[in-house]
Amino acid sequence: MKNIVQHELKSNWKPFLYWTLGLAVLVLAGFVKFLGFDASTGADVSALMAQFPKVFLAMFGMAGLDIQSLPGYYAVLENFVLLLTSVYAIQLGANAVSRESIDKTYEFIFTKPRTRNTILAAKVLAALLFLTVFSVLNFAFSHIALPIYKIQNTISTQIFYFSFANYIVGVFFLSLSVFLSTLFARAETGIKVGNYAFMGFYVLAIIYDMLESPKLIQLLSPMRYFTAHDILASLFSWTHLLIALLVSALAMQFAFVNFRKKDLSAV
Amino acid sequence: MNIYKFEMKRLLGSILTWSITIAVMLLFLMKGFYPAMMESREAVEKIFANFPPEMLIAFGMDVERMFSYEGFLSFSNIYIGLLSAMMAVSIALQIFAREKRDKCTDFLFTRPVTRSQVFVAKFLAGITCLLTFAVLYGATVFWDFNAQNATPLYENSLMYYILSPFLTMLVFFVFATLYALFSKRVRTIAGTATAFAFGAFVLSGLVDLLEKDFLKYVAPLDYFQTGYVLEHGHFDSSLVLTAAVVCVLGSAVSFWWYHSHDVQVA
């Protein structure tokens, strides 16, 4: 088990590096705009934004946020990080299930004296580790970015909540992707359906932002389990955390059952 | 010709799914959101009246443009462009990484056709796919434009909005072709396409943030940016030139590589 985890970490660190690079660029460079906008304009921008149709704002994750304030601006930035985290999580999940089939090395690993469950568990564990480090880095970069631009850090709580929330949503997408990948015979189909699911959930999140935050849609929309509105008020929805983890656990459970019976073949 | 036909047959489903997805996305934005946007015009105009005019110019906020059909189309193009790039990458990988993925390069290259012929057939198949998309997309935009009774801001400017996704696709098609040929293996097409598009998106965002003019040449997603068309009525010619050079050079390098490089046979 330990060998497999180690091997997985070693062979997947490259994509991790690229994704982290994207994250670093997004978070570290992301605050540049905040400066520009803070100095040159008055309070009018907020008034102007308020007049825009909600959908326009929702598409950029700006609905109901005052992007002239540091917490509001950070919330918009983290909404983009959420998209990045979700897509990376989907790739991690699909990779854990399908990589050996794609590389045509499945006969090699699945004839080792370890059960399929053990092997998949090790792979999922490695994927979760990458996601965890990715989220910790999100937290770290956010803390580093503020002093770089000489912005007073008044949002420590929010930074923690946003990073943690994005991590949980990431875990959800990772589990979903693992489940979807065990469902389809072709590896390609698994990741494709995963991407569709991502798009569907994204649209659902926009719809949620557009309609005055309906509870029922929120339940179906993991990207809005931890809303900027809540986090800015230093609230963290533990109920949604529980639901997200429960659904993830369920997806994993089904994934392992599927995987045990899956007819493994090349691609 | 056989190779061309084979590729087209394999790609047909993919082209249709992608084209329809993008067209539906466009209609969703134009039918669902454009009218909602128009409703807030008066309120925004009122606020703008209180702004100093110099500031409005500095921020490029022009009510006439912002609330025009093209203004909204230009905004939608952020999403359309992203999806187009993904589609182009996906098609190029399907075409040029097919043998690598299926480990049947030896099968293809032992047929009695030269490698140049194979490359040309495959390349043309790819271009045909992109053209098919361009026609479907153009028809959708044109139809909606007329259905909403919109008027163009400049003469022929609608043409640029129709062409923008297609031309962006050409650039990404060439990039992905190079990637397919040079990389050791392509694990999943959907995964690589997403990574490409996200990478380009982050790059464009970074260039946008840093506000250095010379950096615009490194953001391929914005070579045919419609924001520029909105202001000037045509594409940024220096970027068009860059894109043309990238496409020609990239295709030439791909051709040379495909033509002369030793292949891995499993």
Instruction: Say what percent of chain A tops pLDDT 70.
Output: 92
Give the gap in angstroms from C-alpha A239 to the nearest C-alpha of chain B.
Answer: 32
- What is the ipTM, given to two decimal places? 0.78
Query: Residue B84's closest CA among B226, B249, B230, B246?
Result: B226
Q: Is residue B265 part of a domain?
A: no
A187 inside 8 A of chain B by CB: yes
Query: What whole-number distance in Å separates Cα of residue B78 and Cα of residue B57?
Result: 22
Give chain B positions within 8 Å (CB) of A29.
205-206, 209-210
Residues A232, A213: Cα–Cα separation, whole Å: 16
B155: phi then psi, degrees, rounded to nearest 5: -70, 130
Average confidence (pLDDT) over B23-51: 79
Query: Which two three-digit tokens encode residue A93?
Result: 């999940």
Supply B235's token pair: 């594409």
CA distance readout (Å), A231 to A30, A164, A236, A238, B21:
19, 11, 6, 12, 34
Nearest to B44 among A51, A94, A192 (CB): A51
- What are the residues of chain B with a beta carbon less than 8 Å away from any beta carbon of chain A? 32-33, 36-37, 39-40, 43-44, 47-48, 50-51, 55, 75, 101-103, 185, 187-191, 194-195, 198-199, 202, 205-206, 209-210
Say yes or no for a CB contact (<8 Å) between B37 and A26.
no
Question: Is B125 within a domain?
Answer: yes
Verify whether the Cβ–Cβ distance A191 to B191 is below 8 Å.
yes
Q: Provide the CB-side half-sphere exposure for A158 (13 A, CA).
A: 22
Q: Does A108 touch chain B (CB under 8 A)?
A: no
Assess contact for B235 and B160: CB atoms under 8 A. yes
Q: DSSP label at B31?
A: I
Please tell me the predicted confidence (pLDDT) of residue A186. Answer: 86
CA distance B145 to B156: 13
Locate A251 and state its tokens.
């997806």
| pLDDT tens-digit map of A121-161 | 999 999 999 999 999 999 999 999 988 888 888 889 999 99
Number of domains in chain B: 1
The strand ranges marked E within chain A are none
Give, in order, the Cα–Cα distances in Å from A22 to each of A9, A17, A134, B67, B90: 19, 9, 11, 33, 21
Average pLDDT over every residue of A21-39:
79
What mean pLDDT is reported for chain B?
Answer: 88
Q: Which of B33, B199, B206 sits opposite A55 (nearest CB)?
A: B33
For residues A228 and A219, what is the distance between their CA atoms, to the nearest angstrom?
A: 16
Number of other CB atoms surrounding residue B27 within 10 Å: 15
Give the pLDDT mean for B57-68: 70
- Structural domain of A74: 2-261
Select from B43, B44, B190 the Cβ nearest to the Cβ of A188: B190
3-state SS, residue B235: coil
Domain hosting B237: range is 2-260
Dihedral-angle region of residue B118 (phi above 0 means left; psi in -120 to 50 means alpha; beta otherwise): alpha
Nearest 5°: CA angle at B89, between B85 and B95? 145
Please choose, from the candidates A111, A243, A60, the residue with its C-alpha nearest in 3D space to the C-alpha of residue B33. Answer: A60
Is residue A266 assigned to a domain?
Answer: no
Give the pLDDT of residue A129: 97
Inter-chain contacts counted by CB atoms under 8 A, chains A and B: 77
Is B266 contained in some domain? no
What torsion, rounded to 10 degrees, do the Cα atoms A53, A58, A59, A60 define? 110
pLDDT of residue A266: 66
Residue A267 lies in a domain: no
pLDDT for residue B61: 64
Query: How many residues are recorded in chain A?
Result: 267
Is the pLDDT score of B219 beyond 60?
Answer: yes
Of A18, A51, A195, the CB nearest to B47: A51
Q: Which residue of A has its CA nearest to B103?
A: A104
Give the type of residue at A247.
Answer: V
A 10 A CB-CB count for B8 gives: 17
How many domains does one find in chain A?
1
Both structure tokens of B131: 């053209």
CB atoms within 10 A of CB B126: 25
Are A48 and B37 a contacting pair at CB < 8 A? no
Q: Which of residues A90 and A73 earns the better pLDDT score?
A: A90
Interface contact B36-A53, CB threshold 8 A: yes
Closest by Cβ to A102, choosing from B43, B48, B188: B188
Q: What is the pLDDT of residue A37?
A: 60
b/e string for B214-253 if b means 16 or more Cβ within 10 A?
eebbebbbbbbbbbbbbeeeebbeebeebbeebbeebbee
What is the structure's pLDDT at B95?
A: 95
Per-residue pLDDT band at A32 (split at 50, 70, 90): confident
* Residue A185: predicted pLDDT: 86
pLDDT at B199 over 70: yes
What confidence tens digit (pLDDT) does each residue in A33-48 have?
776 565 555 556 666 6
Please state at what angle helix A70-102 crosses helix B189-210, rounded to 10 degrees. 150
User: What CA–CA distance (Å, rounded) separates B264 from B261?
Assistant: 10
| C-alpha to C-alpha distance for A129 and A133, rounded to whole angstroms | 6
Query: What's the confidence (pLDDT) of residue B56?
Result: 66
Mean pLDDT, chain A, integer: 88
Reply yes or no on whether the pLDDT at B49 is more than 80.
no
Distances (CA, A) of A3 to A6, A118, B253: 5, 11, 42
Instruction: Tell me the chain A residues in contact with residue B32 when contact means C-beta distances shorter than 8 Å.
Output: 55
Confidence of residue B58 (pLDDT cuts 50, 70, 90): low
* A213: helix, strand or coil: coil
CB contact under 8 A, A53 and B190: no
**Degrees, nearest 5: CA angle A169-A12-A117:** 70
